[in-house]
């Protein structure tokens, strides 16, 4: 998770294609996880063209396939698996700090800038849904496999969650309530905020993602993931109708999340001002 770096340089899918061949299974797993994080970070960019988004989503499908598939056909196990993936990729989500945001969007008030970020994120998740529908359409025109469908849904869900984690982090920056702590702690707080669909609750410093996300928090994350995963089933609609519906539902869900977090943060900032 980057606090000051612009997303430039991660938006071109071709730039992420160079990887070194692992020499053993441990190195291979590390390489897959690193590649997965890079792919998800690139998918959160505001300015991705549709072709680039489809390419990155296809790459994410491949990354997830290489990560392991055994649990993807059992609903409860699949949610645990997906929560682990989200936990692993969250530290890679590039959150811009307020100075970078002001530089990218000059002259906007806090509320106007928040609205712009919400609109951009909603457009991005709609694009992920459309891209997923396009990939699904190709798969169904060609001989389909039962293997591809759950992986595609998992990839789309993880990509959408990453975009929304970035949105939550940047809304906190705008309203003067930046998420503090080490990389793991900040990632955990974003995940908790996403699961609860609200602003961040302060956590104890100096702990990592695995430590913060205890049993209750993980169940909450899995429950929210299940709702999003179910919504993304529309991606598998016949031909491109799946793309249209998935895009619309993703846009609506992201906009609703952004508005909830925005209102929560405005209230939190006002409490601080009122003392």
CA distance 44 to 121: 8
Segment 40-67 shows an average pLDDT of: 86
Amino acid 7: pLDDT = 43
The model's pTM: 0.78
Which residue intervals of the chain are DSSP H helices? 25-43, 50-67, 75-89, 98-104, 110-141, 148-174, 183-196, 209-212, 215-231, 241-274
Query: Any residues with CB less than 8 A from the CB of 226 and at least 6 apart, and which?
Result: 75, 79
Number of residues assigned to the chain: 275
Segment 82-90 shows an average pLDDT of: 85
CA distance 139 to 160: 21
What is the residue-wise DSSP string for 214-253?
-HHHHHHHHHHHHHHHHHGGGGGSSTTHHHHHHHHHHHHH
Neighbours of 268 (CB within 10 A): 17
**In the predicted structure, residue 18 carries a pLDDT above the cut 50:** no
Amino acid 22: pLDDT = 43
- Which of the listed ranges 2-6, 112-116, 252-256 does the model predict with the highest average pLDDT? 112-116
Instruction: Please report, for the chain, the start and end positions of each structural domain, with discontinuous segments joined by +.
Output: 13-17+24-274
| Per-residue pLDDT tens over the stretch 212-267 | 444 555 666 667 777 766 555 544 444 444 456 667 788 888 999 999 999 999 98
**In the predicted structure, residue 8 carries a pLDDT above the cut 50:** no
| Per-residue pLDDT tens over the stretch 178-225 | 998 888 888 888 988 888 878 775 544 444 444 444 455 566 666 777
Residue of 96 and 29 predicted with greater confidence: 96
Segment 101-124 shows an average pLDDT of: 96
């Amino acid at each position: 998770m980057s606090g000051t770096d612009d997303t430039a340089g991660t938006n071109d899918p071709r730039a992420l294609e160079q990887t070194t061949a692992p020499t053993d299974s441990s190195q291979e797993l590390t390489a897959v996880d690193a590649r997965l994080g890079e792919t998800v970070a690139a998918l959160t960019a505001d300015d991705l063209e549709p072709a680039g988004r489809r390419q990155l989503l296809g790459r994410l499908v491949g990354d997830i396939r290489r990560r392991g598939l055994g649990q993807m056909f059992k609903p409860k196990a699949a949610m645990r698996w997906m929560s682990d993936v989200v936990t692993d990729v969250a530290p890679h989500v590039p959150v811009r700090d307020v100075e970078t945001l002001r530089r990218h969007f000059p002259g906007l008030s806090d509320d106007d800038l928040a609205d712009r970020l919400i609109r951009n994120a909603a457009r991005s998740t709609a694009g992920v849904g459309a891209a997923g529908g396009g990939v699904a359409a190709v798969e169904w025109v060609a001989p389909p496999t039962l293997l591809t469908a759950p992986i595609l849904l998992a990839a789309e869900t993880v990509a959408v969650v990453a975009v929304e984690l970035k949105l939550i982090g940047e809304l906190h920056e705008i309203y003067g309530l930046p998420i503090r702590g080490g990389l793991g702690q900040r990632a955990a707080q974003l995940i908790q905020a996403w699961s609860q669909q609200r602003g961040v609750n302060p956590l104890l410093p100096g702990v990592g993602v695995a430590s913060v996300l205890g049993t209750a928090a993980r169940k909450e994350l899995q429950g929210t993931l299940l709702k999003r995963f179910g919504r993304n089933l529309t991606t598998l609609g016949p031909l491109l109708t799946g793309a249209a519906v998935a895009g619309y539902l993703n846009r609506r869900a992201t906009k609703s999340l952004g508005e909830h977090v925005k209102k929560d943060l405005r209230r939190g900032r006002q409490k601080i001002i009122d003392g």
